[in-house]
Amino acid sequence: MKFNILTLFPDLIHNYSEESILGRAQNKEFIEIYAHNFRDFTLDKQHHVDDKPYGGGAGMILQVEPIYRTLENMGLVKNGKKIKPPKTKIIIMDPDGKKFDQKMAKQFSKLDNLVIISGRYEGFDERVYKFVDEKISVGDYVLAGGELPALIITEATARLIPGVLGNSDSLKEETFESGNIEYPQYTRPEDFMGQKVPKILLSGDHKKIGQWRKDQSG
């Protein structure tokens, strides 16, 4: 699966995605992650990507043209229309969008190509939205840009792709997979400053342990 992230700060994407799970998954060719700097697709010498909003107002707005030209270079739009191939989805990080969750991550993991547009400043020229499939939000708060949300979606989706985690059993009892919060877990030492591991987990009775874990799940 390919993740294509449009951003003004590609190093933020590269630096994070080259480490840990995402880095290993790319090395093993389970996924591909690309960062596209839409500043590279401006037409003026100063490479402006933003401008003052028509009608006045605070802040600067991201222009539609550099983003459109980036999508055009990727073969996803032409002559002002989307021409994206099958099993491809174009989403845009937007505080007004649908809230991202585990169910959505599962849906995304079935795609061949997920394109994520991350912004900065005061938002996008409204005409950008013509070329996307869905607005997505990761929470009711404000960040400086869409790179962190884009990486959240990338990681949450990528780890559901077969082979990425290595052990497929790791996904079966995870938080949110069954609709519940995962049960408490313990490891050595058995006693840490008076805080002891529950005796049931030391019993060796897997049936009782299974029931205890079910009972402890939120």
With b meaning 16 or more CB within 10 Å and e meaning fewer, what string describes 95-125? bebeebeeebbeebbebebbbbbbbbeebbb
* Amino acid letter, residue 92: I
Cα–Cα distance between 16 and 21 in angstroms, integer?
10
pLDDT for the residue 82: 95
Phi, psi of 30 (to 5 degrees): -80, -30
Contacts of 10 (CB under 8 A, 6+ apart): 35, 36, 37
- Domain boundaries for CATH 1.10.1270.20 within the chain: 178-216
pLDDT for the residue 195: 96
In this structure, which topology does domain 178-216 adopt according to CATH?
A: Trp Operon Repressor; Chain A (1.10.1270)
- Domain boundaries for CATH 3.40.1280.10 within the chain: 2-168
pLDDT tens, N- to C-terminus, the chain (218 residues)? 999 999 999 999 999 999 999 999 999 999 999 999 999 999 888 899 999 999 998 899 999 999 999 999 999 999 999 998 999 999 999 999 999 999 999 999 999 999 999 999 889 999 999 999 999 999 999 899 999 999 999 999 999 999 999 776 666 656 556 566 789 999 999 999 999 999 999 999 999 999 999 999 87
pLDDT for the residue 192: 96
CATH assignment of 2-168? 3.40.1280.10
pLDDT for the residue 181: 78
pLDDT for the residue 102: 96
Label the pairing between strands 2-7 and 77-78.
Answer: unpaired
Concatenate the DSSP letters of all residues of the chain into one string. Answer: -EEEEEES-HHHHHHHHTSHHHHHHHHTTS-EEEEEEGGGG-SSTT---EEPPTT--SS-EE-HHHHHHHHHHTTSEETTEE-PPTTEEEEEEEEEEEEP-HHHHHHHTT-SEEEEE---TT-B-GGGGGG-SEEEES-SS--S-SHHHHHHHHHHHHTTSTTSSS-GGGGTT-TTTSSSPPPP---S-SEETTEEPPGGGGS--HHHHHHHHHHH--
